[in-house]
Structure 1
């Protein structure tokens, strides 16, 4: 690595650039010294920042405590106690983490009395929704047809880019033809807010197949939990709320186009980002959390500010099976039942050490702690996230579903979902088409070779999740959420289609027929 230096003094630059051989020698020596300095700097930087897999983004190791010096010391002691001894993270004399030179660095405030701690989102005016539409929509003036030029979602998703190109052409035409052009804007009527690897993709695909449900260009934009902070851009550029609303412009245009003669519409749309329920890891970046050791507000507060009547759908499964499925899906290398066991044990140890000294909320919303192991243990603590949301929204605005029930009786579960969203009843042909769709996002073929987790791992995880499952069952007033005496052959296989029930499809004569219908035909004959 010579950074462009000539291989020798004789191999110098053209005479037009360097007049004499003495100048060539001088430039060569200076170039070698500069190269050596850069190598030493790179080596020292990597040594300081080497902390296992946590060195990927040292900025994330900055204290998640509202950017106050005293709280910095609290959390740094927490992390130093619960993480392995192989860490060499830089610390200053106050024992607080030193932020590396990254593209994004959270501002550090040592005196919160000097900081405006009002929430940007919670200070925004709520749109006046038009009562003619069931979906929360409103009209606003169109001041320019090129309204998506700075929306970064078009750079991350091809489907969003295609939609924005189409809509820009439509707005351009409308801008030229109308003297006072307006556009309809919408927000989601419902959320499929959680959880990952619990069947949310299959539920969403069947839900948007209803004639009165329209989908935005992407299922999961993850704006509330991640992208509002700039997750896709490595936190170099945040995504404003207007960019989130832009994602529903296509649906809004269709709602307006398909309105009845009276200008009303029953069409609805939703956001199926399953991070919305649980992902509040970036809370420490917000000025309203200055001086806090845990988030003052969560996604539930922000969503409720704009959408107090939102319908929240949560689909859950046995957290032990969820963790194994999540591990197989998100880990790309070195997967095995043994590796899963070791990382699960590590995650449990870190979590227990944290909760012995700090609140459960502070521990589950700490990404640094979560990244210490290769399993996402905290996502299975459903009780903590649901309790937070139920403190904001009334219970009748929630529909909580177990994947185990959904897998064995999809037809009835979808009827419950449609009824919860106050959608019209389907015809028999429409219902058969929706239920007959193949299962979405099943376990990948390459992951099937790993089989199941060790029984000792299952027992360890069941013991860990048991107290949280008991709290969840009490919260929902349903003992099924303790996941006791379940059929592991169906629920633990990691795929909806592995279950056996009246709505599991088998392909016969080019179309999908329910197993129960086949049994009835055989019985009648």
Structure 2
């Protein structure tokens, strides 16, 4: 009888073991099935992968050559190609090339689930899975501990799942302190008003206008790992994937990534990589990752942009410790500090912009013609020197490199077809909103209600009347009594400095609106 019991126990143990193995195999089969279904549904074969990687590599080479970086360092170019292809391979594991038809955003069907856990009042953790890829990462305490994300987590009771997810098909690439907040709202309102199906306002479905996923705000984030996409990027647009939203409503949602540093910055994968290794990554790979994506860039007079940016950095510091800078904020020292920064940056830049045996371009005592002619002859050095002038990544200085728009725009246009990107000046947006609205509708191929609703400045201003120039209430030096005017000598110096770069930009974009009275 004892032997029988032992045999039964042995048989029972073996059966339980076999059952556990079957469950594991079944689970693995389900994960494999999900991934295979994803690849089958979107017709993405191994040959497609190879073709896409070749295309991205070709884009990087074009971008490097256009920027004057390709011929100087072949190892840097090859690393740039390798990293861009790594970027594509990682994110294509999760994001299909083909989005669902007739959707304004890049939506696809997948297995997505997420759970959020608050670790403290300012940070937390998100875990889950997407397309068989698991993610388990802390949220960024700088951004994703903000009230928008806490409210988002609260809305879904900390747990969320959907078989459809969406990411932006529209990107407001830049520039900072040029009216990007206003334009982000402007685009959404105009498309909503003139869309045939009365598209849904994009700001309703974002946790944050500026998710800073592809370009790190604090320059500490590394890409690419496909498991990062579930947190925080998809989280930012989670409301557009709410199962309670109907399919027809989801089709109309235009999600816009409004991170205004994307046009300038780039991610860094490894600390050991040269800083310029990924210089061309985003313009080379991002439009390939989202094939139907469209892009908008807004610029303003670079002199005004720089001064606004300078005071904004002081304002950010004031949020942390206002007592340390209030004397500067209310005294003449601010304009003087800005002037000294500007002179230092200009001298550094002009010293950089020369090859062996060359003298720096004449500037202070030179005629505008001689100065512009020298700059035009050295455009192949611009990308390198604009990067080298970025000595303070926290930006509490005169950020002259940001105002040389030509360099940053040239990088994107070297690979991006002109019909996929719109360039706007803040000054034109203010004076001729109907003109910009028409260009926005053309870019996104929206013709629905133009005949019913006249496209006039008055109509467009009414549609966009509740768009704030800056929803965070950050100061604009021209409208704040606490901010002193720029020194006249600084204004003259900067206007002269930017003349040749504005001309190069106007020629590249074939539009005089970017001359800014040069």
What residue is the counterpart of 2:52 in the other structure? none
The total of aligned residue pairs comes to 357
Instruction: Work out whether 1:224 is the aligned partner of 2:248.
Output: no
Aligned with residue 400 of structure 2, among 377, 396, 402: 377
Contact 1:132/1:264 (8 A) holds in 2:
no
Identify if the C-alpha distance between structure 1 residues 447 and 419 changes in structure 2 by more than 3 Å, giving closer, same or farther.
same
Per-residue Cα deviation, 1:470-517 (whole angstroms, up to 9, x for no partner): 1101100112312117xxxxxxxxxxxxxxxxxxxxxxxxxxxxxxxx
What residue is the counterpart of 1:407 in the other structure? 430
Structure with the larger helix share: 2
C-alpha displacement of 1:161:
2.5
Identify if the C-alpha distance between structure 1 residues 345 and 386 changes in structure 2 by more than 3 Å, giving closer, same or farther.
same
In 2, distance between residues paired with 1:446 and 1:144? 44
Instruction: Work out whether 1:347 is the aligned partner of 2:353.
Output: no
1:426-465 matches, within 5 Å, as 427=453, 433-437=462-466, 439-441=468-470, 443=476, 447-465=480-498
C-alpha displacement of 1:448:
3.5
In 1, distance between residues paired with 2:218 and 2:179? 25
1:489-508 matches, within 5 Å, as none
**So what's the TM-score if we normalise by structure 2?**
0.60
In 1, distance between residues paired with 2:511 and 2:168? 29
In 2, distance between residues paired with 1:433 and 1:129? 34
What residue is the counterpart of 1:240 in the other structure? 228
In 2, distance between residues paired with 1:238 and 1:336? 44
C-alpha displacement of 1:432:
6.0
Q: Could you say what secondary structure the match of 2:291 adopts?
A: coil
Identify if the C-alpha distance between structure 1 residues 312 and 391 changes in structure 2 by more than 3 Å, giving closer, same or farther.
same
Aligned with residue 162 of structure 1, among 151, 166, 169: 151
What residue is the counterpart of 2:126 in the other structure? 148
Q: Could you say what secondary structure the match of 1:322 adopts?
A: helix
Contact 1:185/1:252 (8 A) holds in 2:
yes
C-alpha displacement of 1:367:
7.2
Per-residue Cα deviation, 1:403-453 (whole angstroms, up to 9, x for no partner): 111112334433432442234437579856533226422626884343432
Q: Could you say what secondary structure the match of 1:120 adopts?
A: helix
What residue is the counterpart of 1:88 in the other structure? none
Identify if the C-alpha distance between structure 1 residues 160 and 120 changes in structure 2 by more than 3 Å, giving closer, same or farther.
farther
Identify if the C-alpha distance between structure 1 residues 285 and 462 changes in structure 2 by more than 3 Å, giving closer, same or farther.
farther
Contact 1:294/1:362 (8 A) holds in 2:
no
Identify if the C-alpha distance between structure 1 residues 224 and 117 changes in structure 2 by more than 3 Å, giving closer, same or farther.
closer
Q: Which runs of 5+ in 2 are unaligned?
A: 1-74, 117-124, 128-136, 193-198, 316-324, 356-379
C-alpha RMSD of the superposition: 3.8
Contact 2:110/2:163 (8 A) holds in 1:
yes
Aligned with residue 313 of structure 1, among 296, 299, 304: 296
Per-residue Cα deviation, 1:101-150 (whole angstroms, up to 9, x for no partner): xxxxxxxx9xx99xx86753222224131114232110111466669343
Instruction: Work out whether 1:138 is the aligned partner of 2:108.
Output: yes
Q: Could you say what secondary structure the match of 1:285 adopts?
A: coil
Instruction: Work out whether 1:277 is the aligned partner of 2:263.
Output: yes
Q: Could you say what secondary structure the match of 2:295 adopts?
A: strand
Bigger relative CO (Cα 8 Å, ≥ 6 apart):
2
C-alpha displacement of 1:376:
0.7
What residue is the counterpart of 2:449 in the other structure? 425
Per-residue Cα deviation, 1:67-104 (whole angstroms, up to 9, x for no partner): xxxxxxxxxxxxxxxxxxxxxxxxxxxxxxxxxxxxxx
